[in-house]
Amino acid sequence: MRTVRDATFDVFRRFGMTTIFANPGSTEIAFLTGLPDDLRFVLALHEGSVVGIATGHATATGRPALVNLHTTAGLGNAVGALATARTNRVPLVVVVGQQDRRHLVYRPFLAGDLAGLAGDYPVWVNQPARAQDVPSAIARAWHEAVDGRGPALVIVPSDDWAEPADDAPIAAPARLHRGTAADPATLAELADLVGGASSPALVVGADADDPETWAALVALAERLDAPVWQESFAARAGFPQDHPLFAGHLPAGRARLREALGGHDVVLAVGAPVFRQYPYEQGPFVNPGTTVALVTDDVEDAHHSPVQFAVVAGPAAVCVALAERVTARSATTPAPTRPAPPRPPTDGEPLRASHVMAALAERVAADTVVVEETPSSRPDLHRLLPARAPLGFLSAAMGGLGFALPAAIGVRMAEPRRPVVAVVGDGSSLYGIQALWSAAHYGCGVLFVVLANGRYAVMDRLAEQHGAGKAPWPAFEEVSISTLAEGLGCPATRVGTHDELLAVLDEVVPTLGERTEPLVLEVAVVPDTTFAP
């Protein structure tokens, strides 16, 4: 007898979802035991790590990843990571286990009110009315995740898997073509706006992070001789950050934002919302007289961005068309002054995060994926370790912690020959530390650089800026990340001097393309004393 489970596995194969990222529970036994050989199971020890690894994998492949979560506890533990996937615009198909359908009416042990548990972060949630509708729900979830650019949830009672499948066709297209180009009239209007500007500027975001859009943006920026800013708190880099026209990362407060974009009469944002903020400040985003336009393939961004003109279409196609339509300008924009690397510490001088970033920048290959989660040291990373290739930078646009360790593992699983380095604060690492077991068990040769200052440094700086008295949280200098890593089966070492740091990096970095053993490099650094979002 062909079962609902058999039919669902065929849907997985049709849509290329042959790896299942999971932390299983009893409601998933019927689904997961006796998997066919062509379906791969990847275990993580916490649901946040499950979703984080899947998010990294889907980010690197550009296709939805398949996640399995265990009823209320599993979905509840994963909500923060699902929120990050939604904000990072990463498609996931999430199968959530539920108690046996036949006695849900009696509220049995492990039954959950699952449909609303993750709030508004899923782009679609469905519990099929019949067991036989599960395969169609999974197929639709794939399309919903792609179009909604986030996690789509399907809730499946445990007894559904063994039910007989019917011969009804799958209620979702096998292929769906999406248009990407703007119409000629819209392109002409946008070209007139940008091409007619006396001093245009570009702002790029995570949705511009692909080879075609990078190339199109480089051509457009060079033709306009326009500086290019990266949106603040971006999940990914939207432009080569070693290009002479790259101006830096936009500040996240309105006063400094107006200063950064001052002097430009037209600002064109591409693949970025307008504008990501952090501290609340009064006043407009830009000075009077500055027109802001937006090109995005995300309708949600277009709806909430305060711009004079928004175009919903593929950024690459639009930028290629704009570069062909605008008149080339003479190159008069001076290249920004690049910061000099910090002076190496003298004997007895402690290491700082900037020393670590500079040492990495001197050694990592241009195609290295840097996954960041070090809030107090993020400005140093942006300043010293630029993204030089698409997918060269990855972070959690949501701002919640626990993303970088599992995401780096997922990227490496998807790109097994691409160097991957995670740069993480010690406080941040504790929110996803369980992921290190998966890295070791599945042979993911990621270099995890943990900046250990024994405290939540960014919180300390924010508390000082607030000026309302001493913060109540203590330091945690007794925590040893390298010891925790080794306890999870992941090789680790701790360094405290510049010479030790350089020696380990010189040994490990050249092997990152082919190594199958992860390494946690815990680097003792003194806390940063400033923080400017």
pLDDT in tens, 159-169: 999 999 998 88
pLDDT, position 456: 83
Same domain, 363 and 511: yes
Q: What are phi and psi of 31, to 5 degrees?
A: -80, -40
pLDDT of res. 363: 97
Which residues of the chain, if any, have pLDDT below 50?
none
User: For residues 431 and 440, what is the distance between their CA atoms, to the nearest angstrom?
Assistant: 18
CATH value at residue 74: 3.40.50.970
Q: Is residue 505 part of a domain?
A: yes
Strand partners, 393: 370
Do residue 138 and residue 192 come from a single domain?
A: no
109 to each of 171, 409, 520, how far by Cα in Å?
32, 34, 40
Q: Are residues 320 and 363 in the same domain?
A: no
The answer to whether residues 145 and 240 belong to one domain is no
Same domain, residue pair 447 and 487: yes
Q: Helical H runs in 415-493?
A: 426-429, 435-441, 457-466, 481-487
Q: Are the C-beta atoms of residues 218 and 315 closer than 8 Å to each other?
A: no
Q: Is 335 among the domain residues?
A: no
Preceding omega of 275 cis (within 30 degrees of 0) = yes
pLDDT tens readout for residues 140-160: 999 999 999 999 999 999 999
pLDDT value at residue 171: 87
Indicate the helix (H) or strand (E) that contains 318: helix 315-325
User: Does residue 490 share a domain with residue 383?
Assistant: yes
In a domain, 336, yes or no: no
Residues 215 and 116 in one domain: no
- The CATH number given to whatever domain includes residue 256 is 3.40.50.1220
DSSP 481-510: HHHHHHHTT--EEEE-SHHHHHHHHHHHGG
Q: Does a structural domain hold residue 392?
A: yes
The range of the structural domain enclosing residue 218 comes to 184-325
Same domain, 28 and 79: yes
Residues 397 and 499 in one domain: yes
Would you say residue 59 lies in a domain?
yes
38 domain-assigned: yes
Residue 340 lies in a domain: no
* Shared domain check, 292 and 427: no
Domain count, the chain: 3
Query: Whole-prediction pTM value?
Result: 0.94
H or E stretch covering 408: helix 404-414
- End residue of a domain, out of 325, 343, 374: 325
pLDDT of residue 250: 94
Whether 278 is in a domain gets the answer: yes
Does residue 486 share a domain with residue 378? yes
pLDDT of the residue at 530: 65
Same domain, yes or no, for 81 and 40? yes
Question: What is the C-alpha separation between 38 and 452, in angstroms, rounded?
Answer: 41
